[in-house]
Structure 1
Amino acid sequence: SGGADVAAKVSVCVATSLSLILSCILLFTPHTTFPALFSPDENVIQEASKLIPFLALYVVGDGIQSGLNGIVKGCGRQCVIMPIVLVAYWMIGVPLGYYETFLRHDGIMCDEVSCGVRGLVLGLSVGTWVHMLLLGLLVCCSTNWDNEAEKAQERLARERRSKPSGRVLYHDEPNDNDHGLLNETRRQALNLEMTSSCQLRTLNED
């Protein structure tokens, strides 16, 4: 259980570190650099460059939640992930993006922080951070590593019992299921041979 706890912490730390590195690259590189790689249109480049701060925020939250998501799935608690996704994105992120983009600003582009497509990206980023925070609370506050280690061992034992032997069988080699049939065939052949011998002995005596 101690090893599982350490491995979980290491995975989250690595995900956080990589996400922060990518976020810093996005923030400290001129914001028009990456959009210019995908479009020659100056208007598109300028509008896309305004999304970089939101994307830098999104990258950090998404990287951390990916590590936490792996921990929750490894514990066999996939049924908890779906409600968290519904709350984070469909109840918070998507409505927030829709409100900022289409209700508050009527879908037009302007100079405000959350105007136009930036409102959609803002909603997605907020939803991702809510997703990350809920998963973090789940992992930190309701995960008993001793119990999870025992459950993992039980699942592994059940899986091993349910799987057939990994020994390679050649085309003319009987498997375990064929041993009973093979022994029965041998017994029948032996009985037939003994019966034939008795009949021949009787004929010879006559």
Structure 2
Amino acid sequence: MTTDQILNTIPFGIGVAASARVGNLIGARDAAGAKRASHASAFLSVVVGSVVMTVMLATRNVFGFLFSDDVDVVALVSSVMPFVASFQIADGVAGSCGGVLRGQGRQHLGAIFNLVAYYVLALPLGVTLAFHPRTHMGLQGLWLGQVVALFIVGLGEYAVVWLGTDWDKEIQYSIERNREEAKRRQLHDGYEEL
């Protein structure tokens, strides 16, 4: 999990950059540029995730030795490594598309996807796969639940960005939000002067 969190900094950074880039392009009223940047960030995340996944799979039988000399621990790490490795692609897509949604001002959609995928799906699925007498997958089951959830988040957010975004309307929404914010600030500043 520690390694996964360290590796998560790469797609997280891509998501932060996508958020800023898409937000700036929407603010500049460049719909084509915002669309291009959003898809480029998702593509970059898949490429980076694929490289990380390949390295993790190639080193799966020795990776555990970074943390322990215990052969049983190394074998357990090796058994979950395919799930952890595939997690990298899903995490990348979810991170970059979440960044795009934040850049659009639609972060509530990412929150909904994460809430449903993790608490409604991943947690019960992972616990069931890990501990149910019929499956009893143990740690692999917990990771499989996480991977399924993250793929749902990533693909769901990508579908919203790819299929559910009218970039010209997003620009209009941002203009309206900015006008409302300017009115609110003007009203607030007027009260402060009193």
Instruction: With the length of structure 1 as denominator, give the TM-score of the two structures.
Output: 0.69
Measure the CA separation in 2 of the matches of 1:46 and 1:75: 44
Matching residue of 2:45: 15
Shift of 1:149: 2.0
Matching residue of 1:100: 129
Amino acid at match of 2:141: G
Measure the CA separation in 1 of the matches of 2:68 and 2:180: 54
CA contact (8 A) 1:105 1:116 kept: no
Equivalence map 1:25-36=2 (5 Å): 25-29=55-59, 31-36=60-65
Count, aligned residues = 157
Equivalence map 1:113-192=2 (5 Å): 115-156=137-178, 162=185
Amino acid at match of 2:108: C
Shift of 1:41: 1.2
- After superposition, what is the alpha-carbon deviation per residue over 1:42-75, rounded to whole angstroms, capped at 9, x for unaligned? 1111111111111111111011110000011111
CA contact (8 A) 1:51 1:121 kept: yes
CA contact (8 A) 2:93 2:154 kept: yes
CA contact (8 A) 1:4 1:149 kept: no
Query: Could you say what secondary structure the match of 1:143 adopts?
Result: coil
Measure the CA separation in 2 of the matches of 1:43 and 1:27: 18
Measure the CA separation in 1 of the matches of 2:65 and 2:134: 27
Measure the CA separation in 1 of the matches of 2:65 and 2:171: 49
CA 1:27–1:106: 2 relative to 1, 3 Å: closer
Report the structure number with the largest CA radius of gyration.
Answer: 1
CA contact (8 A) 2:130 2:142 kept: yes
- After superposition, what is the alpha-carbon deviation per residue over 1:76-130, rounded to whole angstroms, capped at 9, x for unaligned? 11222222112211122111111111113585xxxxxxx1111101111111111
CA contact (8 A) 1:12 1:67 kept: yes
* Percentage of identical aligned residues: 29
- Greater helix share, structure number: 2
Instruction: With the length of structure 2 as denominator, give the TM-score of the two structures.
Output: 0.73
Matching residue of 1:166: none
Measure the CA separation in 1 of the matches of 2:135 and 2:53: 30
Measure the CA separation in 2 of the matches of 1:47 and 1:28: 16
Measure the CA separation in 2 of the matches of 1:70 and 1:80: 11
Matching residue of 1:68: 97
Matching residue of 1:3: 33
Amino acid at match of 1:136: Y
The two structures, once aligned, show a CA RMSD in angstroms of 2.2
Matching residue of 1:53: 82
CA contact (8 A) 2:64 2:77 kept: yes
